[in-house]
Structure 1
Amino acid sequence: MGRRALLYLSDECNQRVLGFTGIPSSNDADADFVLGQPDFTTTGQANGANQFGGPQSPVISGKELLVSDWYNSRILIWKTAPTTTQAPANIVVGQAKFGTRTDACSAKGLDAPETISVGGGKLVVADSDNARVLIFKKIPKKNGQKADIVLGQKNFKTCVELNNGEGATGSPTAANFSYPAGIWTDGKRIVVTDEDENRVLIWTKFPKKNFQPADIVLGQPDFTSDVVNNNGSGGSGLPSAKNMNMPYDGVFSNGTQLFVDDQENNRILVWNTFPTANFTPADVVIGQPNFTCGVANNDGSGCTSGTASASNLSQPTGVFQINNQLIVTDGNSRYLIYNGM
């Protein structure tokens, strides 16, 4: 028998990451170990090598574990994915060393990174409050390592929302962000959720230069629109298979399907084939009975809110897949596991 898959789930407000030696097969399963805390009942926040300040987006790459530490403006890297409680990280990115917390707009600095993704040996970071995405061509091997490429900004010294190309705030384009939150890459493509602009940007070929424009936009008919639940004519309407309302941290692809959390529409959108054109409609919706409803905790009778159930969602903030199991971070303080996705 092969080794059971390790599962790491961030518990952001409790300043910890829960570790499971296998995918849970029953409700309310206990974690096997915890990172960031000395035990399962402590919730303190700090910035040491074995502490967190808002952990998000645990990612396993080969033997390594990487975690985005939002409040501490850093990425923590374990050279070997830990299986014991409060194991310290080996490498910190975004800070010069462990035990410090400084927000910075530079090739070495970060400011409230939401999520990370690793593909093809490359690390991509949503440096959210700096309105940019940082690309490391290789997973960092030392503290405070510099990024190689920046998206959303022309250089590493500028960090303005919706950069107009001259270092000032402008309007949405294919090359800028307002608040990049969710990110996915396979080392050949990049997908970024631009939360405040109600859109998802896709680079169909891996970027090679700073400020490189995206190739495809979802949620909007073009790169200059930013309307909530865009009705296709530039106005705000009901939710649909094409539009979005604040897509947040959750974006994932298995290479063919694309999954996006549409937070304020309380749903996950699924494209069964990786999109190749602007404003492509999703094929499947999770958390709602149809594409035109967006209420939290849909009670199943139409478009009315009820209580949390196995079929609904409330402000989902994350989505990823292990084998054929889809795991969704739900605002009802739970993780939902869908088999056969």
Structure 2
Amino acid sequence: MLTDEHSGGWEPRTWLGAPAPGGLALPQASPSMAWMYSPRGVFIDDSHVVVADSGNHRVLIWHGVPESDEQPADVVLGQPDGTSEGRAAGGRGPERGMNLPTGVAVVGGRLIVADAWHHRILVWDEVPQRNDVAPDVVLGQPDSSAVQPNAGRECSASTLYWPFGFAMLGPRFWVADTGNRRVLGWSGGIPEPGEPADIVLGQPGEHARGENRGEAVGPASFRWPHAVTGADELLLVADAGDHRVLGWSPHPGGDAPADSVLGQQDFSSADEWPYGPHSGDRFRFPYAVGLDQGRLAVADTANNRVLLWDELPSEPLGGRPADHVLAQPDFSSNGENRWALVGRDTLCWPYGLSLHGDRLAIADSGNNRVMVWERRR
């Protein structure tokens, strides 16, 4: 078990998904409402837990925060029932189906899902209370049956290619348009279908999609932007492929260089830890980032850990080391499940996280589960 010296009082509380008899957390041959297969996204608030059960091409919803291990979900979306799996609802079609959903959140009472490999964002005007409900809004495609990258045409400010993450920050809606190596922003909030973004961040124009702008890594480029978080006047993007988190304050109104970088010593570096210093200020494929009440969490995915800062680092370059590390015995360790058996406080490739007050939900993808951690006051 972890000690307070490194975990800062954070403890794993609830295990959602496959148990691990004998040390491996394996998915069932057939899905259930209680088990998962490679979940890559999670959202938690006081009223819901929502999981992108990515390997089963579905979203699971718990109404209320689960209190017991392996508690079954209340609702499944993307499949006709809790025992079906497969892309596009097992072949029924994309109208109610999904293909590797990732980002999930409840925003202003609306459920939003990044249906990444269908190259679209799905919106339900209310959080569904029953299974197999079709979305009310489809963004990034001309209709609910279309699933082509960039809607089958040239990349533009209204098309998407592997959108993995999103966030609503103040009045702006941001999408990590990962396959186009950019972040799109809508200043008027969640857009209407077909509405182009008014902010294209990370590329010189709406039709460009080159990795790091086709140049060396810099303060205005992305290799693999995967998750977005922040506040009314702060935008943070987990640029997983460049092993860093970029920050803009205030929000950029167009393509602009970042003001800060976390995980690298400067804007021109993209070093992959552990080949650099073994510490709490370097990353290896950080796929998720969360900010709540001034506290910052980063899923340092390939290092099998979550890093926590009690306050957002103020340094523009490099940032100070994290205050706490979860799932590893110290800041210099990075083994999958600490090179041991699966435990309540171990991780294997955490792809997603959601920070809400003293609760932290982690999509522990390699262990086919979601772990809800809590901080002792």
TM over 0.5: yes
- 1:106 alignment partner in structure 2: 156
Q: Would the aligned equivalents of 1:97 and 1:144 in 2 still touch at CA under 8 Å?
A: no
**For residue 275 of structure 1, what is the amino acid of its counterpart?**
P
Partner of 2:300: 262
Q: CA separation in 2, counterparts of 1:98 and 1:282?
A: 43
Opposite residue 200 of structure 1, the aligned amino acid is V
Match of 1:93 among 132, 139, 142: 139
Aligned AA (1:193): A
The answer as to 2:351 corresponding to 1:312 is no
d(CA) in 1 for partners of 2:289, 2:101: 17
**Pairing partner for 1:5 from 47, 55, 66:** 47
Matching residue within 92, 99, 106 for 1:60: 106
Whether the 8 Å contact between 1:64 and 1:79 is mirrored in structure 2 is yes
> CA-to-partner distance for each residue in 1:196-215, whole Å, 9 max, x for gaps?
21111011211112x21111
CA distance in 2, matches of 1:129, 1:179: 7
Residue in 2 aligned with 1:334?
A: 369
Deviations 1:117-151 (A, max 9, x none): 11213211110010000011123353222111011
Q: Which residue of 2 aligns with 1:229?
A: 273
Judging changes above 3 Å, is the alpha-carbon distance between structure 1 residues 153 and 255 closer, same or farther for their aligned structure 2 residues? farther
1:219 is aligned with what amino acid?
G
Greater fraction helix: 2
Moved over 3 A (4+): none
Match of 1:287 among 323, 327, 337: 327
C-alpha deviation, 1:36, in angstroms: 0.7
Residue 242 of structure 1: CA displacement? 1.2
Question: Does 1:276 pair with 2:291?
Answer: no
Between the aligned partners of 2:102 and 2:207, the Cα distance in structure 1 is 25
Q: Determine which of 25, 31, 51 is the counterpart of 2:97.
A: 51
Matched, 1:23 2:57: no
Gaps of 5+ in 2: 1-44
Matched residue of 1:290: which SS?
coil
Corresponding residue of 2:240: 195
Q: Partner residue of 1:177? A: 222
1:115 is paired with a residue whose SS is strand
Q: How many aligned positions are there?
A: 321
1:77 paired residue number: 123
2:229 is paired with a residue whose SS is strand
The separation in 1 between residues aligned to 2:123 and 2:100, in whole angstroms, is 15
Specify whether residues 141 and 229 from structure 1 end up closer, same or farther in structure 2 by C-alpha distance, changes over 3 A only: closer
Code of the residue aligned with 1:202 in structure 2: it is: G
Asked if structure 2 preserves the Cα contact closer than 8 Å seen for 1:239 and 1:294, the reply is: no
Q: Is the 8 A contact 1:239 1:265 kept in 2?
A: no
User: Could you tell me which residue of structure 2 aligns to residue 207 of structure 1?
Assistant: 252
Please say if residues 49 and 90 of structure 1, whose CA atoms lie closer than 8 Å, have aligned partners that are also in contact.
no
8 Å CA contact 2:165–2:226 kept in 1: the answer is yes
Question: Amino acid of the residue matched to residue 21 of structure 1?
Answer: H
Residue 241 of structure 2 aligns to a residue in which SS? Answer: helix
- Residues 140-184 of structure 1 deviation map (CA, whole Å, 9 limit, x = unaligned): 353222111011102111111111xxxxx1111110011111211
Q: CA RMSD in A?
A: 1.6
Instruction: Give the Å deviation of 1:238.
Output: 4.8
Identity of counterpart residues, as a percentage? 32
TM-score (norm 2): 0.82
Query: Which residue identity is paired with 1:94?
Result: G
Whole-angstrom CA distance in 1 between matches of 2:345 and 2:310: 20
Higher relative contact order (CA 8 A, sep 6+): 2
Q: Do the aligned partners of 2:361 and 2:370 also contact (CA within 8 Å) in 1?
A: yes
C-alpha distance after superposition, 1:237-274 (max 9, x if no partner): 353111111111x1100031110011111100111111
Q: Deviations over 1:214-238 (max 9, x none)?
A: 11111111000111127xxxxx335
Give, in angstroms, the shift of residue 48 of structure 1: 3.0
Which position in structure 1 is the counterpart of 2:41?
A: none
Structure 1 CA distance for aligned equivalents of residues 58 and 107 of structure 2: 20
**CA offsets 1:8-43 (integer angstroms, 9 cap, x no match):** 111011010001111111111110110111100111
Question: Gapped runs of 5+ residues in structure 1?
Answer: 164-168, 231-235, 299-304
- Residues 102-128 of structure 1: CA deviation (Å, up to 9, x unaligned): 212111100011111112132111100
Taking the aligned partners of 1:52 and 1:244, their CA distance within structure 2 comes to: 30
